[in-house]
Structure 1
Amino acid sequence: MPRKQHSTAKPAPPKANVSPDWPVFKPLLPTSDIYLETVVESQIVVARNFWTGTLCKNYVAFLKSLPLTTTPGKPKKGEALRVNDRFQIVDETFANRLWVETGLRELVCGRGEGEEEEDAMTAEQRTELWGGKPIGLNPSIRIYRYSKGQYFDCHYDESNVLTINTKPKPIPAKTTWTILLYLTSPATGCEGGQTVFYPDDSPGKESTLGKEIVVELETGMLLLHKHGDDCMLHEGREVTEGEKWVIRTDLCIERN
């Protein structure tokens, strides 16, 4: 059963002002080998092997050098109880690289005319799924490390409005889906830490679930779930062994 429900506060200010020297995104599998799998219709999708094990290992080694900050043991009013170490920075260049260089844009928007796709979604279906026209990622990049005994209590992820600084002019945007990239799993010694979604009987919520949905950690797997008003109640379970490393951002759509 989930713990007491809490809502998340808006993202904290960046913890650093200078962009890290992020490693390159190599090696990657061909984009044609990566596709979206539906876990819960219109709510949760995953892409397995989005990053290779080697790339994940390289990134974990790099992320350990960043100045991570431990979250307070007592949350502020309205926040979910979270115990982890994190690094956060607004980095438009890295967000754009993650969107373009990894094949994420093609995964979300489609691979283009004449190219076969495993999910075979039309442009209209994709627009409906994502809540609008996807234009990039939230430049607020968050790195999470959960060590043994750490977890993120039940909560909802909020939607945020922002501006994507594209050329020739900036585009008003809002976030519609949370994006989590798992860098560790039981295969790398991390036990526990599953992301769990729960049926929700809160006032004003109409649950689409009849039972809890447990998303197990897989090294290099991408998890996307809808947030904002339609966000499902979820938690990051306690890590019982090893370390859980996650890169977090959000999908942005064009805001009219």
Structure 2
Amino acid sequence: MPKKGPARKKEVPTRERYSPPPPPSWPPLTPVIPSEDLTVETILPMQILTIPKFFTAALCRIYHNFVSQSLDLTTTPGKPKRGEALRVNDRISIYDLGFAERLWNETGLKDLVAREAGEDGGKELWGGEVIGLSPNIRVYRYSKGQFFDKHYDDTASFSIGDPQVRVQTTWTLLIYLTGRSDGVRGGETVFYTEATKHTQGEEHAIEPEKGTALLHRHGAHCLLHEGRVVTEDAGVGKWVLRTDLIVGR
């Protein structure tokens, strides 16, 4: 009987680790309006704020040209997952911590958020001390006939940086890169307040205006809202850059 040799180790195929594609080379964030010249308009206290001319018209053109020519957007499926709102648009999600830091530090947003924080450092308004923006950068395009049905924005908790810091999102930030001046009609971001024993429910419609930034509270305090159908897109479409404010946890 032949001698048995050493047992061979069974080869287990290794699963390749997914590496996300490198982030794009975003254009410089210039020209911008100095932070001291930026203003906040309160649409609904503690819930909905806008920053007119957050991006200048020139910067909007630069970024619209870049995202429309350089990014490969995907059309969302017509049938949403269970519990999700129907959304018909084109979108891309990019993890880019460096761009989030630039958007926070180079646009005047950091100073503006600090000015609005109040004596408690933003605990009541922002849900804590805002330390920056989420690295989950999203770009949306809504063409004629596209929309985002009524929904709530969830909060997200994760760790970033080195050493790792635990953070949580508290407010959604939308920057409209195109709008009515480009021939876009419809596409309003509309919020609904609930009726109470003493008050009627109200509707607050924010028209997409090129360069305007919209901040709205999300998570447990989020209002029901929707992106109404774009009725005319003038061959341009409604383009939105989205991220979130993050606070330390």
1:50 CA displacement = 0.4
Give me the whole-angstrom Cα distance separating, in 1, the residues matched to 2:64 and 2:199: 35
Structure 2: state its 5+ residue gaps.
Answer: 1-17
Aligned twin of 1:222: 213
Give me the whole-angstrom Cα distance separating, in 2, the residues matched to 1:208 and 1:16: 48
For each residue in 1:58-108, what CA deviation from the matched residue of structure 2 results, as whole angstroms up to 9, or x when unmatched?
111110121000000111111110000011111100111111111111111
The partner residue of 1:153 within 141, 144, 149 is 149
1:121 CA displacement = 5.6
1:47 CA displacement = 0.5
Structure 1: state its 5+ residue gaps.
Answer: 1-13, 111-119
**How do 1:135-146 residues align onto structure 2 when only pairs under 5 Å count?**
135-146=131-142
Aligned pairs, number: 228
Aligned twin of 2:6: none
Q: Rg: which structure is higher?
A: 2
- CA 206–144 in structure 1, closer or farther in 2 if over 3 Å, else same: farther
Percent of residue pairs identical: 51
1:235 aligned partner, one-letter code: E
- Given the alignment of the two structures, is residue 49 of structure 1 paired with residue 53 of structure 2, yes or no? yes
The partner residue of 1:124 within 120, 125, 128 is 120
1:210 CA displacement = 2.9
For each residue in 1:194-217, what CA deviation from the matched residue of structure 2 results, as whole angstroms up to 9, or x when unmatched?
00001336xxx9998731111111
- CA 97–121 in structure 1, closer or farther in 2 if over 3 Å, else same: closer
For each residue in 1:95-153, what CA deviation from the matched residue of structure 2 results, as whole angstroms up to 9, or x when unmatched?
1111111111111113xxxxxxxxx7633163310010101111000000000000000
User: Aligned to 1:159, what secondary structure does the other structure show?
Assistant: coil
Give me the whole-angstrom Cα distance separating, in 2, the residues matched to 1:53 and 1:45: 20
Q: Is the 8 A contact 2:101 2:133 kept in 1?
A: yes
Give me the whole-angstrom Cα distance separating, in 2, the residues matched to 1:91 and 1:103: 19
- CA 193–171 in structure 1, closer or farther in 2 if over 3 Å, else same: same
What is the root-mean-square deviation of aligned Cα atoms in Å? Answer: 2.2
Give the TM-score normalised by the residue count of structure 1: 0.84
Q: Is the 8 A contact 1:15 1:89 kept in 2?
A: no
Displacement over 2 Å in runs of 4+ = 120-123, 205-210
Q: Is the 8 A contact 1:86 1:145 kept in 2?
A: yes
1:221 CA displacement = 0.5
- Given the alignment of the two structures, is residue 62 of structure 1 paired with residue 87 of structure 2, yes or no? no
2:131 aligned partner, one-letter code: I
- CA 146–71 in structure 1, closer or farther in 2 if over 3 Å, else same: same
